[in-house]
Chains A and B, each alone.
Chain A
């Protein structure tokens, strides 16, 4: 359903990605690990279409209407409406914009795109509260402005809430565990596990093996210097945890 082929990318003229290949099938969870500066965040941003990165070679294919389609020319909002989601490493604050109103606007954009009816505020409120329960969030959360005055943990949970609301086919989690205490991490992992189905897929980017005890991956890939240097199962993450990255070079 999702495939990256020979992806090369630069930012401000610097080569960051140097030929990434990755194939993700429905129902799978892939973890991507790697040292600082290896290109993990760049990869996640490119998947959702951040304008600062320039793809110089390769393609990213996503299953749209039964056909694998190159999404690189698509606007970020179109990719989102087609079912690609990024949980940001640093969620952005939008002062004055009410969280629940924002969530409904986002949800309805996806509905419109997929030819479904938009949800009215009352129905949406019910839907929203179901999802909030999943992540152990209360009302004061959604009545505030988007990410404004949220703690680090709350921001991350808000990302997962957005994911739950938008129900994407492919979700990329960019270091969602960083800055989380163990309890928050469990809540987040539990949220992800509840959302897993045989039809959707996750790409989990992380520094630490710890998260993978809670979100168990089918595949682990090690990214170094813009390339995937090793792939394996969850044991690879444990090996990295013990030995570091250098032995893989």
Chain B
């Protein structure tokens, strides 16, 4: 069943949108460092080259090649409500890394350290964030991970996926591709063939991770794709909160980011995964920006396990992303909290899938879409309740807010129930940011921007409260910055 609510808004005379100039993207700078990349193009030799550069075991190379061979048989999916010129997969370089290979964080090129400092993620011993361990990924490689020692003492593994393949092959072999199979979809197959780096987290049985783990992804080089791969495993009775941030320089051409993230939660384990996505979104006319085609999926494998996705999607020219949860264990819980903001000519087709398999499984979806200028913002979500899922419950709420009269918002909820003990609820709303609300606040002394920011933050509150504190503050600031010139 697919319901389509399309609403183009008319009549907003007090809200002629001004174009947000690209100087407002303060992460749009480029770091000039010596790097090595492989020639553009994609074939089996490219994949062998990537695998060799990373000194991978044969099984990994073969895994990549089989993914590549399958990818060749696939077509790019066409069902999403997005439009873009064909992607030239032969026009991309699939590997780009700083030339100097640091042995530890102390040896990292000072230019790169400065870059991360400018991004608000200092890595050096003296300045690093206290409560958060950071894995910093620069183009195709992880340049280092902080606080590793403290984590190791508790048996927690937090490192780049490349390092994990070398040092923990048994874990990688057991879980890589177990939630998002190589053949899952076009972009997942591509990622499996050419992924370069990303993070690996392993939380042993009974351990509550003492700090947030986070990965900061930075695309720097031009004409390079970034193919991140992240794998998080939470053993029985463990807990971890993981954060992810992303930025890229401003460029006129589009760049491809195709990630795969897999989460596994065993009995009574809990994984909280938060994203603030702020890839470069292109300029006001839609030139440039990142194509963000991402497959994120969690498996609640154990009974009473819980996976919670929280995302603030504020960047990328195109977002194609559906962080999903497979509720296999009895009494497991899946949650999805999302704010997607699109302005200028950004396009977002994002949502979630909740697949109920186990008994008494519960899922909750709260999605807030905000669209301004000429942007196109879509929620697409699937709630599927299989015959085995006795007493499954789902609650979904999808709200869209439109700012101005040239943007669009669509909601595509799919609900597929195969067990008659299930209860699903779906609520949806589309509203225009109301002139009466703005005027009311203005008549109390708040200026237009302050009024709009209050209204938008109120609209997103339920999602923001799910974010870790510092992330919530950043998210609020990010939305304010993006909306600054969109209303008025």
Contacts A97-B457, A102-B454, A105-B454 given: A92-B445 contact, CB under 8 Å?
no
| B488 → A minimal CB distance (Å) | 11
Q: Is the CB of B443 within 8 A of A96?
A: no
CB atoms of B14 and A94 under 8 A apart:
no
A111, B448: Cα distance in complex, Å? 18
B439 CB contacts on chain A under 8 angstroms: 50-51, 76, 92
Q: How large is the interface on B (under 10, 10 to 19, 20 to 34, 35 or more residues)?
A: 20 to 34
Main DSSP-derived SS at the B contact region: helix
In the assembled complex, A121 has its CB within 8 A of some CB on chain B: no
A105 pairs with B450, CB closer than 8 A = yes
Q: A92-B436, A94-B454, A94-B455 are in contact. Are A77 and B445 (CB under 8 A)?
A: yes
Q: Is A96's CB under 8 angstroms from B458's CB? A: yes
The answer to the question of A204 belonging to the interface, with a C-beta cut-off of 8 Å to chain B, is no
Q: Does A81 contact B (CB under 8 A)?
A: yes
Flag whether B241 is at the interface (Cβ < 8 A): no
Cβ-defined contact, A94 with B440, below 8 A: yes
CA distance in complex: A88, B440 (Å): 8
Complex: how many Å from CA A48 to CA B447?
A: 14
| Least distance between B436 CB and chain A CB atoms (Å) | 5
Report the minimal beta-carbon distance from B262 to chain A, rounded to whole angstroms.
33
Closest B residue by C-beta to A90: B436
Those of B1-60 within 8 Å (CB) of chain A: 13-14
**Min CB gap A208→B, angstroms:** 25
Which of B103-145 touch A at CB < 8 Å?
A: none
**In chain B between 447 and 470, which residues have their CB closer than 8 angstroms to a CB of chain A?**
447-448, 450, 454-455, 457-462
Assess whether B474 is interfacial by the CB under 8 Å rule. Answer: no
- In Å, the complex CA distance between A96 and B459 comes to 6
Complex: chain B residue closest to A110, CB-CB: B445
Interface string of A75-119 (1 = CB under 8 A from B): 111011100011010011111110000100110011001000000
Pairwise interchain contact B440-A97, C-beta atoms closer than 8 A: no
| B445 in complex: contacting residue of A50, A80, A97, CB < 8 Å | A80
Q: Across the interface, do B454 and A76 meet the contact criterion of CB distance under 8 Å?
A: no
- Across the interface, which residues of B come within 8 angstroms of A48, CB to CB? 443
The answer on a CB contact under 8 Å between B458 and A94 is: yes
CA distance A196 to B301 in the complex (A): 67
B12 CB to nearest chain A CB (Å): 11
Is B444 interfacial (CB-CB < 8 Å)? yes
A75: chain B residues at CB < 8 Å are 442, 447
Chain A residue nearest in CB terms to B399: A95
Closest to B462 in A: A96
Interface residue? B446 (CB, 8 A): yes
Q: Does A201 contact B (CB under 8 A)?
A: no
How far does the alpha carbon of A109 sit from the alpha carbon of B434 in the complex, in Å? 22
Q: How far is the CA of A93 from the CA of B458 in the complex (A)?
A: 11
Tell me which residues across on chain A come within 8 A of B444, comparing CB atoms. 77, 80, 102, 106, 109, 162, 166
Highest count of chain A CB atoms <10 Å: which of B434, B444, B458, B462: B444
Say if the beta carbon of A39 comes within 8 Å of chain B. Answer: no
Binary per-residue interface labels of chain B (460-488) against chain A in the complex, 1 for a CB within 8 Å, 0 otherwise: 11100000000000000000000000000
The verdict on A92 contacting B434 (CB below 8 Å), with A50-B439, A97-B455, A97-B458 known, is yes
Q: When chains A and B are docked, how far (Å) is the Cα of A81 from the Cα of B458?
A: 23
Q: Is A145 an interface residue (CB 8 A)?
A: yes
Q: Could you write out 12 A-B pairs with CB less than 8 Å apart?
A: A49-B443, A77-B448, A80-B443, A85-B443, A86-B443, A88-B443, A92-B434, A92-B440, A96-B461, A97-B454, A102-B444, A105-B454
Taking A88-B443, A145-B458 as given, write out 17 further A-B residue pairs in contact, using a Cβ cutoff of 8 Å, ordered by the A residue number. A49-B442, A77-B445, A77-B446, A80-B444, A91-B440, A92-B439, A94-B458, A95-B459, A96-B458, A97-B455, A102-B444, A102-B454, A105-B446, A105-B454, A109-B447, A162-B444, A166-B445
Shortest Cβ-Cβ A-B pairs, 5 listed:
A96-B458, A109-B445, A96-B461, A97-B458, A92-B440
